[in-house]
Amino acid sequence: MIARKIRIKGIVQGVGFRPFIHRLAAEFDIAGFVLNDTEGVLIHAEGEPENVGRFVDAIPEMAPKPAHIAKIASEPVSILGRADFRIIPSEHREGEVTAISPDLATCEDCRAELFDPGDRRYGYPFINCTHCGPRYSIIENLPYDRPATSMSPFAMCQNCLAEYRDVQNRRFHAQPNACRECGPKYDLFDLAGLSVRCDDPIVFACEMLRDGKIIAVKGIGGFHLIADAANGEVVGKLRERKERPAKPFALMVRDIETVRKLCEVSDREAAILSSPAAPILLLKIKKSPALELPDNIAPGLDRLGIFLPYAPIHHLIFALSGIEILIATSGNKRDEPVSCQNDEALRDLKDIADAFLVHNREIVGRTDDSVGFVFDNELTIVRRSRGYVPRPVEMPISGASILAVGADLKGTFAMTRGSEAFLSPYLGDLTGEKSLELFDEVLSRYLKWLNIAPEAIVCDLHPDYASTILAERLAAEWGVPLFRLQHHAAHGISVIAEHKLPDKPALTVALDGYGYSSDGTIWGGEFLSVRHGGFERLAHIRHVPQPGGDRAAVDTRRMALSWAFEALGEKVIERIPDLLDDLSDLAGPLLSMIRCRRPPLTSSAGRLFDSVACLTGVCSRNTFEGECPQRLTAAADMFEMGHYEFATTDSILDPSPAIRRIIEDCSAGIDKGIIAARFHRGFARGIVDMAHKLAGDNGIGDVLLSGGVFQNPILLELVVKGLRGRGLRPYWNRIVPAGDAGIALGQALFGKKRFNSK
């Protein structure tokens, strides 16, 4: 006989881990005990040496799907002579900190029961077990016990309580355990907030969906606006009511087989769609799909945002409505966080929805659906919310507790404890009051959970960011130092943080729309040398005027004219007559601003993409962030292998030669798809050339790719391949977004380094 102590860290509480260990112990004839404590799960196992060894090996291999084992360590201990294996109840102490699980999609067992007429939870929309159900979204306090969640008003009935107390049951200590007798319920409200008289609110809502109505449905982390995706008219109505002319709508699709009728789906993509996190994945639309959808769902784009039903209510809606594909877009006002309270939804969505399918369980932690795409066979996150938060990101260094407040447009903060960074869910555009309130609310909950007081704060260099102003206020209130970090350096350091790279110079290529710098120009096409605690600018995309400032980010004709002038000078007048015609009265004043290089000047890669989209006639207005670039990429015919030349000097990557050729090719009537492909290939080559040269000059081997432009999978692939071809080591964001929602992680590492070396 031998005995071992096994310590497991990670997300191992509230995911059915102890019952799993209990079963496993029985299988391998192991005696001892298992318990939850502040660090995770602790096991004492004794038995035949061979059995104990196999038991330890089986833990990570057979762990329940929603568990996330960060670390497992075992060591020999003395034999206690236990007769059996037991689950020892945890003793929760004041201020205890355990890793809170993200919300988990309905598991297969619960789904089977949901549709089993003989099961007592047949058709019950809040069915869950220790392997699935809400977690983050219902937890108010720690330790994670029912009274600390929004399930506290629902007292378990005798049947539920028996399951909850039975070690062998799948619902042993499942905090949200409930049934029709004792749990939350759905109700259907009309626009006045009055309960609609009907036999069954869900059945009635499904009839409305079939009739082409838009229903606001309260789910796990907030409200969705749901409608029949096959009905082009209702999609159009939703666009009008949401004042959203072109931004693509996410689709919730009945099952993976139906997804395959619409899009190309790899095994990896199928696995991620069906994972407990159930994110929205951006999937390539099939050349000839087996199902036709109206063209106003994702106009001009080659990818669809798709997710599978992840809550029991979603499964029920598909079953009861018979609809295969639903529009399921966040129930929010533009750029605001998703609505999650019943009265709030009734107020905010009354001009959009036709009815409200609500329930009486409060959503404590509001989350949007997460978004990502698969690149290099790995999930690459674009929006990190439901299913991922509050799972921490492990950083390369430990030390002080840092609050990093992120950037404004994609509000997200990071709070660190030890070497872990806990990122908030996506909070919306922080220039809006509701988002700022949410920031405060989530921050105070995180501080309570983590039981720490921040020792320093990091914000962006931008003096007018709402997040900066907030950081200044908090720093004064708490009496802690405030560090400021340039936007693109933060992008680069976020890559260092998630790949746990050592503190030595790495070359960052940060491409995005806009970032503040103290030199008075707009940065957005940057080559920086960064390390944990600082950065240096090495090169950038050539500066051009951005006539009209922010207006040029929406009306991309302004930037197109600016780049055309940069490339051709006064010859623009005869070379781009169509654009000048289109600008009509605006052309003169714009040209004079451009001629005298009136500030602001910009090195933005986003604005460069905008310009090419406009010059080629693909798209001339960003009705949502990234619209023109995304449409240009969707238009690109990548069978075309040609490229446009970019010029490089020591510190400037100059697109002017490419712009000249684009204008020539456009007047020669060359296909847009070919021009778009040559631009992508040329730009990628330019980036790789520049990076190669700078890396060589500075003795650097690691190249970090970040910024929203790298959420473009075609550009990312070309650059990654190009860098590898030159013997460099590229790294890019995966766990946190390459866009501004990932900035907080970079700020957090920077803050740690700065504080530690103080």
User: In the complex, which residues of this chain contact Fe ion (CB under 5 A)?
Assistant: 512, 740
Work out what residue 157 binds among Zn ion, Fe ion, none; the CB cut-off runs from 5 to 8 Å by kind. Answer: Zn ion
Q: Is 670 left (phi over 0), alpha (psi -120 to 50) or beta?
A: beta
436 binds Zn ion (CB under 5 A): no
97 binds Zn ion (CB under 5 A): no
Q: How far is the CB of 387 from Zn ion (least distance, A)?
A: 15
Q: How far is the CB of 148 from Fe ion (least distance, A)?
A: 37
Burial of 62 (0-12, 13-18, 19+ CB in 10 A): exposed
Q: What is the distance between the alpha carbons of residues 620 and 2, in angstroms, rounded to a whole number?
A: 72
Coil, helix or strand for 136?
Answer: helix
CA angle 667, 669, 674 (to 5 degrees): 110
Q: How far is the CB of 178 from Zn ion (least distance, A)?
A: 6
Cis geometry, peptide bond prior to residue 600 (ω within 30 degrees of 0): yes
Of 91, 63, 100, 71, give the one whose Cα is nearest residue 6. Answer: 71
132 binds Zn ion (CB under 5 A): yes
Give the interface segment with Zn ion, choosing from 121-129, 534-542, 698-706, 712-720 (CB under 5 A): 121-129
By the 8 A CB rule, do 375 and 405 touch? no
Q: What six digits make up the tokens of 41?
A: 């799960």
Work out what residue 438 binds among Fe ion, Zn ion, none; the CB cut-off runs from 5 to 8 Å by kind. Answer: none
Any idea what DSSP says for residue 149?
B
Work out what residue 512 binds among Fe ion, Zn ion, none; the CB cut-off runs from 5 to 8 Å by kind. Answer: Fe ion
Work out what residue 131 binds among Fe ion, Zn ion, none; the CB cut-off runs from 5 to 8 Å by kind. Answer: Zn ion
272 binds Zn ion (CB under 5 A): no
- Select the residue whose beta carbon is closest to Fe ion and give its number: 512
Work out what residue 132 binds among Fe ion, Zn ion, none; the CB cut-off runs from 5 to 8 Å by kind. Answer: Zn ion
Q: How far is the CB of 109 from Zn ion (least distance, A)?
A: 5
How many residues of this chain interact with Zn ion, rule: CB under 5 A? 10
107 binds Zn ion (CB under 5 A): yes
Of 182 and 246, CB closest to Zn ion: 182
Coil, helix or strand for 296?
Answer: coil
Beta pairing partners, 415: 403, 422
Of 331 and 525, CB closest to Fe ion: 525
Of 44 and 386, CB closest to Zn ion: 386
174 binds Zn ion (CB under 5 A): no
Coil, helix or strand for 282?
Answer: strand
What sign does the dihedral 410-414-420-422 (CA atoms) show? Answer: negative
182 binds Zn ion (CB under 5 A): yes
Per the listing, tokens 């922010």 go with 550
Q: How far is the CB of 719 from Fe ion (least distance, A)?
A: 17
179 binds Zn ion (CB under 5 A): yes
Of 41 and 539, CB closest to Fe ion: 539
Q: What is the distance between the alpha carbons of residues 619 and 624, in angstroms, rounded to a whole number?
A: 12
What sign does the dihedral 694-700-702-708 (CA atoms) show? Answer: negative
Q: What is the distance between the alpha carbons of residues 446 and 444, in angstroms, rounded to a whole number?
A: 5
Alpha-carbon distances of 598 from 38, 103, 516, 590, 601, rounded to whole Å: 59, 50, 18, 10, 8
Work out what residue 12 binds among Zn ion, Fe ion, none; the CB cut-off runs from 5 to 8 Å by kind. Answer: none
Q: How far is the CB of 183 from Zn ion (least distance, A)?
A: 6
Count of positions (residues) in the chain: 758
Among the listed residues 129, 306, 400, 612, the single contact to Zn ion using CB under 5 A: 129
110 binds Zn ion (CB under 5 A): yes
Q: How far is the CB of 515 from Fe ion (least distance, A)?
A: 5
By the 8 A CB rule, do 385 and 230 touch? no
Give the interface segment with Zn ion, choosing from 99-107, 320-328, 545-553, 556-564 (CB under 5 A): 99-107
Work out what residue 496 binds among Fe ion, Zn ion, none; the CB cut-off runs from 5 to 8 Å by kind. Answer: none
Q: What is the distance between the alpha carbons of residues 300 and 635, in angstroms, rounded to a whole number?
A: 8
Work out what residue 653 binds among Zn ion, Fe ion, none; the CB cut-off runs from 5 to 8 Å by kind. Answer: none
Coil, helix or strand for 586?
Answer: helix
Of 144 and 413, CB closest to Zn ion: 144
114 binds Zn ion (CB under 5 A): no
Residue 272: which H helix or E strand, with range?
helix 267-273
Q: What six digits make up the tokens of 458?
A: 């990091």
Of 314 and 542, CB closest to Zn ion: 314
Of 131 and 135, CB closest to Zn ion: 131
Of 354 and 740, CB closest to Fe ion: 740
157 binds Zn ion (CB under 5 A): yes
Of 462 and 660, CB closest to Fe ion: 462
Q: Is 295 left (phi over 0), alpha (psi -120 to 50) or beta?
A: alpha
CA torsion, ordered 707, 712, 714, 719, to nearest 10 deg: 0
Work out what residue 740 binds among Fe ion, Zn ion, none; the CB cut-off runs from 5 to 8 Å by kind. Answer: Fe ion
Q: What is the DSSP string of 292-309?
A: ---TTSSTT-SEEEEE--
Give the interface segment with Zn ion, choosing from 73-81, 127-135, 196-204, 486-494 (CB under 5 A): 127-135
Of 209 and 743, CB closest to Fe ion: 743
181 binds Zn ion (CB under 5 A): yes
Q: How far is the CB of 119 from Zn ion (least distance, A)?
A: 12
Q: What is the distance between the alpha carbons of residues 427 and 449, in angstroms, rounded to a whole number?
A: 19
Give the interface segment with Zn ion, choosing from 110-118, 329-337, 339-347, 603-611 (CB under 5 A): 110-118
Q: What is the distance between the alpha carbons of residues 428 and 409, in angstroms, rounded to a whole number?
A: 7
Give the interface segment with Zn ion, choosing from 181-189, 296-304, 388-396, 604-612 (CB under 5 A): 181-189
Per the listing, tokens 């796990």 go with 220
Binding site for Zn ion (CB under 5 A): 107, 110, 129, 131-132, 157, 160, 179, 181-182
